[in-house]
Chain A
Protein backbone atom coordinates (compact mmCIF):
# COMPACT_ATOMS: atom_id res chain seq x y z
CA UNK A 1 0.00 0.00 0.00
CA UNK A 2 2.76 2.39 0.95
CA UNK A 3 4.59 1.45 -2.22
CA UNK A 4 1.47 2.17 -4.24
CA UNK A 5 1.14 5.59 -2.63
CA UNK A 6 4.76 6.40 -3.33
CA UNK A 7 4.32 5.24 -6.89
CA UNK A 8 1.26 7.42 -7.42
CA UNK A 9 2.95 10.41 -5.79
CA UNK A 10 6.12 10.11 -7.79
CA UNK A 11 4.04 9.54 -10.90
CA UNK A 12 2.16 12.76 -10.21
CA UNK A 13 5.36 14.66 -9.63
CA UNK A 14 6.96 13.31 -12.78
CA UNK A 15 3.92 13.93 -14.90
CA UNK A 16 3.81 17.60 -13.85
CA UNK A 17 5.32 19.47 -16.77
CA UNK A 18 8.83 20.60 -15.99
CA UNK A 19 8.21 23.93 -17.72
CA UNK A 20 5.45 24.80 -15.23
CA UNK A 21 8.23 25.97 -12.97
CA UNK A 22 9.24 28.60 -15.48
CA UNK A 23 6.32 30.85 -14.53
CA UNK A 24 7.14 30.40 -10.84
CA UNK A 25 10.88 30.87 -11.43
CA UNK A 26 10.27 34.14 -13.17
CA UNK A 27 7.84 35.20 -10.46
CA UNK A 28 5.10 36.01 -13.01
CA UNK A 29 2.44 35.31 -10.40
CA UNK A 30 3.47 38.23 -8.23
CA UNK A 31 1.92 40.66 -10.73
CA UNK A 32 -0.28 38.45 -12.93
CA UNK A 33 -3.20 36.14 -12.25
CA UNK A 34 -2.17 32.73 -13.58
CA UNK A 35 -5.03 30.58 -12.26
CA UNK A 36 -8.77 31.15 -12.58
CA UNK A 37 -9.23 30.37 -8.87
CA UNK A 38 -7.09 33.35 -7.86
CA UNK A 39 -9.74 36.04 -7.63
CA UNK A 40 -9.43 37.81 -4.34
CA UNK A 41 -5.97 39.19 -4.84
CA UNK A 42 -5.69 42.40 -6.74
CA UNK A 43 -2.97 42.12 -9.30
CA UNK A 44 -0.86 44.95 -10.67
CA UNK A 45 -0.63 43.40 -14.13
CA UNK A 46 -3.16 42.03 -16.61
CA UNK A 47 -4.69 38.57 -16.13
CA UNK A 48 -2.71 35.82 -17.83
CA UNK A 49 -4.80 32.79 -16.84
CA UNK A 50 -6.26 32.77 -20.36
CA UNK A 51 -3.05 33.61 -22.23
CA UNK A 52 -3.54 30.56 -24.45
CA UNK A 53 -6.87 31.92 -25.59
CA UNK A 54 -5.77 35.50 -25.96
CA UNK A 55 -2.29 35.81 -27.42
CA UNK A 56 -0.56 34.83 -30.61
CA UNK A 57 2.50 32.80 -29.52
CA UNK A 58 4.93 34.58 -31.84
CA UNK A 59 3.90 37.97 -30.49
CA UNK A 60 4.12 36.70 -26.89
CA UNK A 61 7.65 35.47 -27.45
CA UNK A 62 8.75 38.75 -29.05
CA UNK A 63 7.08 40.69 -26.23
CA UNK A 64 8.94 38.72 -23.59
CA UNK A 65 12.24 39.38 -25.32
CA UNK A 66 11.56 43.01 -26.14
CA UNK A 67 8.49 44.36 -24.29
CA UNK A 68 6.34 47.00 -25.95
CA UNK A 69 3.88 49.36 -24.29
CA UNK A 70 0.31 48.04 -24.54
CA UNK A 71 -1.31 50.23 -21.92
CA UNK A 72 0.04 53.76 -22.34
CA UNK A 73 -1.38 54.81 -18.96
CA UNK A 74 -0.18 51.66 -17.21
CA UNK A 75 -2.42 48.84 -16.03
CA UNK A 76 -4.82 50.98 -14.05
CA UNK A 77 -6.34 49.16 -11.08
CA UNK A 78 -6.82 52.29 -9.02
CA UNK A 79 -10.55 53.09 -8.77
CA UNK A 80 -9.58 56.74 -8.60
CA UNK A 81 -8.16 56.19 -12.05
CA UNK A 82 -4.92 58.03 -11.72
CA UNK A 83 -2.28 57.22 -14.30
CA UNK A 84 0.60 55.28 -12.87
CA UNK A 85 3.60 56.73 -14.54
CA UNK A 86 6.04 55.24 -12.07
CA UNK A 87 5.45 51.62 -13.10
CA UNK A 88 8.68 49.92 -14.13
CA UNK A 89 8.79 48.52 -17.68
CA UNK A 90 8.19 44.78 -18.08
CA UNK A 91 11.32 42.69 -17.59
CA UNK A 92 12.85 41.34 -20.78
CA UNK A 93 13.84 37.68 -21.09
CA UNK A 94 16.45 35.73 -22.97
CA UNK A 95 15.33 33.87 -26.11
CA UNK A 96 15.40 30.51 -24.29
CA UNK A 97 13.35 31.84 -21.38
CA UNK A 98 10.92 33.53 -23.75
CA UNK A 99 10.43 30.23 -25.59
CA UNK A 100 9.80 28.33 -22.37
CA UNK A 101 7.50 31.00 -20.95
CA UNK A 102 5.51 31.27 -24.18
CA UNK A 103 5.10 27.50 -24.34
CA UNK A 104 3.80 27.45 -20.79
CA UNK A 105 1.58 30.52 -21.11
CA UNK A 106 -0.03 29.15 -24.26
CA UNK A 107 -1.30 26.18 -22.24
CA UNK A 108 -3.36 28.47 -19.98
CA UNK A 109 -6.88 28.40 -21.35
CA UNK A 110 -10.34 28.85 -19.88
CA UNK A 111 -12.55 28.60 -22.96
CA UNK A 112 -12.81 27.27 -26.50
CA UNK A 113 -14.08 30.21 -28.56
CA UNK A 114 -15.40 29.55 -32.06
CA UNK A 115 -12.98 30.37 -34.90
CA UNK A 116 -13.47 33.55 -36.93
CA UNK A 117 -13.21 33.88 -40.71
CA UNK A 118 -9.50 34.66 -41.21
CA UNK A 119 -10.00 36.51 -44.52
CA UNK A 120 -8.80 40.12 -44.21
CA UNK A 121 -11.59 42.68 -44.55
CA UNK A 122 -12.10 44.42 -47.88
CA UNK A 123 -11.05 48.07 -48.05
CA UNK A 124 -14.67 49.20 -48.13
CA UNK A 125 -15.66 47.20 -45.08
CA UNK A 126 -12.56 48.39 -43.27
CA UNK A 127 -13.60 51.98 -43.84
CA UNK A 128 -17.13 51.19 -42.68
CA UNK A 129 -16.06 49.43 -39.49
CA UNK A 130 -13.43 52.05 -38.76
CA UNK A 131 -16.22 54.61 -38.89
CA UNK A 132 -18.24 52.55 -36.41
CA UNK A 133 -15.14 52.08 -34.22
CA UNK A 134 -14.94 55.85 -33.90
CA UNK A 135 -18.51 57.04 -34.10
CA UNK A 136 -21.06 54.32 -33.47
CA UNK A 137 -19.37 52.57 -30.60
CA UNK A 138 -16.91 55.25 -29.49
CA UNK A 139 -14.09 52.70 -29.01
CA UNK A 140 -11.47 55.27 -29.95
CA UNK A 141 -12.21 57.31 -26.82
CA UNK A 142 -10.34 54.73 -24.74
CA UNK A 143 -8.34 52.65 -27.24
CA UNK A 144 -5.55 53.73 -29.54
CA UNK A 145 -5.85 52.55 -33.12
CA UNK A 146 -4.56 53.53 -36.54
CA UNK A 147 -6.40 55.95 -38.77
CA UNK A 148 -6.49 55.52 -42.56
CA UNK A 149 -3.32 57.57 -42.83
CA UNK A 150 -1.52 55.12 -40.53
CA UNK A 151 -1.30 57.53 -37.60
CA UNK A 152 -1.87 56.47 -33.99
CA UNK A 153 -5.06 57.99 -32.59
CA UNK A 154 -7.22 57.48 -29.54
CA UNK A 155 -7.50 57.41 -25.75
CA UNK A 156 -5.20 55.63 -23.33
CA UNK A 157 -7.35 54.20 -20.54
CA UNK A 158 -7.83 50.93 -22.43
CA UNK A 159 -5.15 48.74 -23.97
CA UNK A 160 -3.76 50.00 -27.28
CA UNK A 161 -5.15 48.20 -30.32
CA UNK A 162 -2.45 49.52 -32.67
CA UNK A 163 -0.87 46.06 -32.79
CA UNK A 164 -3.99 44.02 -32.05
CA UNK A 165 -3.67 42.05 -35.29
CA UNK A 166 -0.30 40.67 -34.25
CA UNK A 167 -1.03 40.35 -30.55
CA UNK A 168 -4.49 38.82 -30.24
CA UNK A 169 -6.28 35.72 -31.46
CA UNK A 170 -9.31 36.60 -33.57
CA UNK A 171 -11.50 33.99 -31.87
CA UNK A 172 -10.70 35.49 -28.49
CA UNK A 173 -11.44 39.05 -29.65
CA UNK A 174 -14.85 37.94 -30.92
CA UNK A 175 -15.58 36.02 -27.72
CA UNK A 176 -14.54 38.97 -25.53
CA UNK A 177 -16.86 41.31 -27.44
CA UNK A 178 -19.67 38.79 -27.19
CA UNK A 179 -19.30 37.70 -23.57
CA UNK A 180 -16.77 39.92 -21.78
CA UNK A 181 -17.73 38.39 -18.43
CA UNK A 182 -16.07 35.11 -19.47
CA UNK A 183 -12.72 36.85 -19.17
CA UNK A 184 -13.16 39.99 -17.11
CA UNK A 185 -15.44 40.08 -14.07
CA UNK A 186 -15.88 43.85 -14.21
CA UNK A 187 -14.42 45.69 -17.12
CA UNK A 188 -14.30 49.44 -17.59
CA UNK A 189 -15.52 48.96 -21.13
CA UNK A 190 -19.20 49.22 -21.99
CA UNK A 191 -20.93 46.04 -23.17
CA UNK A 192 -22.07 46.05 -26.76
CA UNK A 193 -24.80 43.80 -27.96
CA UNK A 194 -23.59 43.53 -31.52
CA UNK A 195 -25.32 41.60 -34.27
CA UNK A 196 -23.26 38.48 -35.11
CA UNK A 197 -22.37 39.86 -38.56
CA UNK A 198 -21.18 43.19 -37.10
CA UNK A 199 -19.25 41.35 -34.42
CA UNK A 200 -17.42 39.27 -37.02
CA UNK A 201 -16.59 42.28 -39.18
CA UNK A 202 -15.46 44.17 -36.09
CA UNK A 203 -13.13 41.35 -35.10
CA UNK A 204 -11.69 41.13 -38.58
CA UNK A 205 -11.20 44.91 -38.58
CA UNK A 206 -9.26 44.76 -35.32
CA UNK A 207 -7.09 42.02 -36.80
CA UNK A 208 -6.03 44.42 -39.60
CA UNK A 209 -4.45 46.75 -37.01
CA UNK A 210 -0.73 46.04 -37.01
CA UNK A 211 2.16 48.16 -35.90
CA UNK A 212 3.96 47.70 -39.22
CA UNK A 213 1.14 49.80 -40.73
CA UNK A 214 2.16 52.84 -38.68
CA UNK A 215 3.29 55.57 -41.08
Chain B
Protein backbone atom coordinates (compact mmCIF):
# COMPACT_ATOMS: atom_id res chain seq x y z
CA UNK B 1 0.00 0.00 0.00
CA UNK B 2 2.77 2.37 1.00
CA UNK B 3 4.71 1.44 -2.12
CA UNK B 4 1.65 2.11 -4.28
CA UNK B 5 1.30 5.55 -2.78
CA UNK B 6 4.93 6.26 -3.38
CA UNK B 7 4.49 5.29 -7.00
CA UNK B 8 1.49 7.54 -7.33
CA UNK B 9 3.31 10.48 -5.79
CA UNK B 10 6.33 9.98 -8.02
CA UNK B 11 4.00 9.79 -10.99
CA UNK B 12 2.34 13.07 -10.09
CA UNK B 13 5.69 14.73 -9.47
CA UNK B 14 6.95 13.50 -12.83
CA UNK B 15 3.85 14.80 -14.59
CA UNK B 16 4.32 18.21 -13.03
CA UNK B 17 7.96 18.30 -14.12
CA UNK B 18 7.05 17.18 -17.63
CA UNK B 19 4.44 19.83 -18.23
CA UNK B 20 6.47 22.73 -16.91
CA UNK B 21 7.68 24.88 -19.79
CA UNK B 22 10.11 27.76 -19.97
CA UNK B 23 8.07 30.89 -19.62
CA UNK B 24 6.79 30.49 -16.07
CA UNK B 25 3.57 29.15 -17.52
CA UNK B 26 0.95 28.14 -15.08
CA UNK B 27 -1.72 28.03 -17.81
CA UNK B 28 0.25 26.51 -20.63
CA UNK B 29 -0.08 23.00 -19.38
CA UNK B 30 -3.37 22.03 -20.99
CA UNK B 31 -1.88 19.74 -23.62
CA UNK B 32 -1.08 16.26 -22.51
CA UNK B 33 0.49 14.93 -25.66
CA UNK B 34 3.63 16.62 -26.96
CA UNK B 35 3.87 16.86 -30.76
CA UNK B 36 6.10 14.37 -32.45
CA UNK B 37 9.24 15.48 -34.23
CA UNK B 38 7.53 14.87 -37.54
CA UNK B 39 4.61 17.10 -36.60
CA UNK B 40 6.85 19.98 -35.83
CA UNK B 41 8.85 19.44 -38.95
CA UNK B 42 12.12 18.98 -37.20
CA UNK B 43 13.76 15.94 -38.63
CA UNK B 44 16.52 14.96 -36.29
CA UNK B 45 19.36 13.39 -38.12
CA UNK B 46 21.80 11.94 -35.66
CA UNK B 47 25.03 11.17 -37.31
CA UNK B 48 26.82 9.01 -34.79
CA UNK B 49 30.13 9.81 -36.42
CA UNK B 50 29.88 13.49 -35.57
CA UNK B 51 28.92 12.72 -32.00
CA UNK B 52 32.23 11.02 -31.37
CA UNK B 53 34.52 13.15 -29.23
CA UNK B 54 36.26 15.57 -31.53
CA UNK B 55 38.81 18.01 -30.29
CA UNK B 56 38.44 21.38 -31.94
CA UNK B 57 40.55 24.09 -30.38
CA UNK B 58 38.99 27.15 -28.85
CA UNK B 59 39.73 30.23 -30.91
CA UNK B 60 38.81 33.88 -30.64
CA UNK B 61 35.91 33.04 -32.96
CA UNK B 62 34.63 30.47 -30.44
CA UNK B 63 34.63 33.10 -27.71
CA UNK B 64 32.86 35.58 -29.97
CA UNK B 65 30.27 32.96 -30.91
CA UNK B 66 29.64 32.25 -27.25
CA UNK B 67 29.27 35.96 -26.55
CA UNK B 68 26.96 36.53 -29.49
CA UNK B 69 24.55 33.64 -29.00
CA UNK B 70 25.03 31.85 -25.68
CA UNK B 71 25.55 34.88 -23.45
CA UNK B 72 21.94 35.95 -23.97
CA UNK B 73 21.02 33.38 -21.32
CA UNK B 74 24.28 31.94 -19.99
CA UNK B 75 25.96 35.32 -19.42
CA UNK B 76 29.07 36.85 -20.94
CA UNK B 77 31.31 34.94 -18.53
CA UNK B 78 29.17 31.79 -18.56
CA UNK B 79 27.88 32.19 -15.03
CA UNK B 80 24.27 31.54 -16.04
CA UNK B 81 23.36 35.18 -15.50
CA UNK B 82 22.51 36.43 -19.01
CA UNK B 83 19.85 39.09 -19.47
CA UNK B 84 17.15 36.45 -20.06
CA UNK B 85 18.11 34.36 -17.04
CA UNK B 86 15.68 35.77 -14.53
CA UNK B 87 12.73 35.34 -16.92
CA UNK B 88 13.15 31.60 -17.36
CA UNK B 89 11.55 29.01 -15.09
CA UNK B 90 14.56 26.75 -15.46
CA UNK B 91 17.69 28.81 -14.78
CA UNK B 92 20.32 28.64 -17.56
CA UNK B 93 23.25 26.39 -16.73
CA UNK B 94 26.18 28.03 -14.98
CA UNK B 95 29.10 26.94 -17.16
CA UNK B 96 31.67 27.74 -14.49
CA UNK B 97 30.34 25.08 -12.10
CA UNK B 98 32.44 21.96 -12.44
CA UNK B 99 30.31 19.93 -10.01
CA UNK B 100 27.57 19.53 -12.63
CA UNK B 101 29.50 19.76 -15.87
CA UNK B 102 31.90 16.98 -15.00
CA UNK B 103 28.88 14.68 -14.87
CA UNK B 104 28.10 15.50 -18.53
CA UNK B 105 29.99 13.91 -21.40
CA UNK B 106 31.20 15.98 -24.34
CA UNK B 107 28.66 14.16 -26.52
CA UNK B 108 25.84 15.24 -24.22
CA UNK B 109 27.00 18.85 -24.37
CA UNK B 110 27.30 18.62 -28.16
CA UNK B 111 23.79 17.18 -28.46
CA UNK B 112 22.32 19.79 -26.13
CA UNK B 113 23.71 22.58 -28.32
CA UNK B 114 22.89 20.96 -31.66
CA UNK B 115 19.44 19.57 -30.88
CA UNK B 116 18.38 21.64 -27.87
CA UNK B 117 17.90 20.96 -24.18
CA UNK B 118 14.99 18.54 -24.60
CA UNK B 119 17.09 16.17 -26.69
CA UNK B 120 19.24 15.35 -23.67
CA UNK B 121 16.41 15.40 -21.16
CA UNK B 122 17.09 18.97 -20.14
CA UNK B 123 14.99 22.15 -20.19
CA UNK B 124 13.28 23.11 -23.47
CA UNK B 125 14.37 26.73 -22.93
CA UNK B 126 17.63 25.82 -24.65
CA UNK B 127 16.85 25.91 -28.37
CA UNK B 128 18.50 23.77 -31.04
CA UNK B 129 21.43 25.50 -32.76
CA UNK B 130 22.05 22.80 -35.35
CA UNK B 131 20.72 24.91 -38.22
CA UNK B 132 22.72 27.95 -37.11
CA UNK B 133 26.14 26.72 -36.03
CA UNK B 134 28.48 24.41 -37.93
CA UNK B 135 29.37 21.16 -36.20
CA UNK B 136 32.99 22.19 -35.72
CA UNK B 137 31.81 25.40 -34.08
CA UNK B 138 29.67 23.35 -31.71
CA UNK B 139 32.62 21.08 -30.93
CA UNK B 140 34.73 24.13 -30.14
CA UNK B 141 31.95 25.50 -27.91
CA UNK B 142 32.02 22.23 -25.98
CA UNK B 143 35.76 22.76 -25.51
CA UNK B 144 35.11 26.33 -24.42
CA UNK B 145 32.60 25.14 -21.81
CA UNK B 146 35.31 22.78 -20.54
CA UNK B 147 37.59 25.80 -20.26
CA UNK B 148 34.95 27.76 -18.36
CA UNK B 149 34.33 24.97 -15.85
CA UNK B 150 37.99 23.89 -15.64
CA UNK B 151 36.69 20.37 -15.78
CA UNK B 152 36.47 17.26 -17.93
CA UNK B 153 33.85 14.56 -18.06
CA UNK B 154 34.39 11.63 -15.73
Contacts from A to B (Cβ < 8 Å) = 73, 76, 79-83, 127-128, 130-132, 134-142, 145, 147-149, 151, 153-157, 186, 188, 190-195, 197-199
Contact = CB atoms under 8 A, between A and B. Distances in A.
A188 B69 contact: yes
Contacts of A190: 69, 127-129, 131-132
A80 B83 CA distance: 11
Contact of A132 (B26, B35, B132): B35
Contact of A188 (B72, B118, B125, B128): B72
Contacts of B34: 131, 135
Interface stretch (B16-24, B46-54, B97-105, B144-152): B16-24
B127 A131 contact: no
Interface of B: 21-28, 30-31, 34-35, 39-42, 64, 67-69, 71-73, 76, 82-84, 87-88, 116-118, 124-129, 131-132
B25 A134 contact: yes
Contact of A197 (B41, B72, B117): B41
B68 A148 contact: no
B72 A155 contact: yes
Given A81-B76, A131-B35, A141 B25 contact: no
A155 B73 contact: yes
A138 B84 contact: no
B23 A140 contact: yes
Contacts of A193: 41-42, 131
